[in-house]
Amino acid sequence: MAQMFFRIIEIAFASYMVPALLLPAAWLAGFLLKRRTGVTRQPAAEIEGQWRLLFALFLVWFALFLAVVAGAPLDRGGAAAIALCWIVYAVTNLLLAWFMLRFTSTYALIPAGQVADRAFMRFLGIVIAQPLMTAAAFAVLNRAMGLAWNLQVPDLPAIQEGI
């Protein structure tokens, strides 16, 4: 049970901490790109478009996870498969950071009603799906890299005695 507990903590921590650490990079990229493009969309349309893109990336991770469960030999893909998986993982987390940044700045601009409720439900869906996507991504990355997860934390009684 202790190994599963630490695995859940690791996935939950990584699923929210990685995008949080990428938030300054997303803010800077958005600031620089917005100056150049000058295109602004309605807040609800912006949230909807970003949600669709993130949902598509989440589906990619779950499809890859199902392929791993089915026994697809991702570890035979070599360096290209590993690089592609890491690039998609980084893009997914950067887009999540951008989504969080844009959601917090545009949600208040949406008039109250069904459109605002739908935008908030999209936000909640992304927040809830993020640990599942991270778990799927970790499984795929471990398989593509030919690794096995090995707990390096002492059992719970050893930790309690240390405290």
Radius of gyration, CA atoms only, the chain: 19
Distance (Å, whole) CA 160 – CA 77: 43
Between 159 and 122, the more confident residue is: 122
3-state secondary structure of 155: coil
| Whether residue 155 has pLDDT greater than 70 | no
Is 0.85 surpassed by the pTM of this model? no
Q: Which string of b and e fits 16-45 if b means at least 16 CB within 10 Å? A: bebbeebeeebeeeeeeeeeeeeeeeebbe
Q: Give the CA distances from residue 49 to residues 22, 34, 83, 94, 100, in Å, rounded to whole numbers and listed in that order.
A: 20, 16, 27, 15, 13
Mean pLDDT estimate for the chain: 75
pLDDT at residue 90, as a whole number:
84
Q: Of 141, 154, 151, 126, which Cα lies nearest the Cα of 61?
A: 141
pLDDT in tens, 43-92: 777 777 788 888 888 888 888 888 888 887 777 777 777 788 888 888 88
Angle at alpha carbon of residue 54, lines to 49 and 55, rounded to 5°: 95
Number of H helices, E strands in the chain: 5, 0
Q: Residue 105 has which token pair?
A: 């700045």
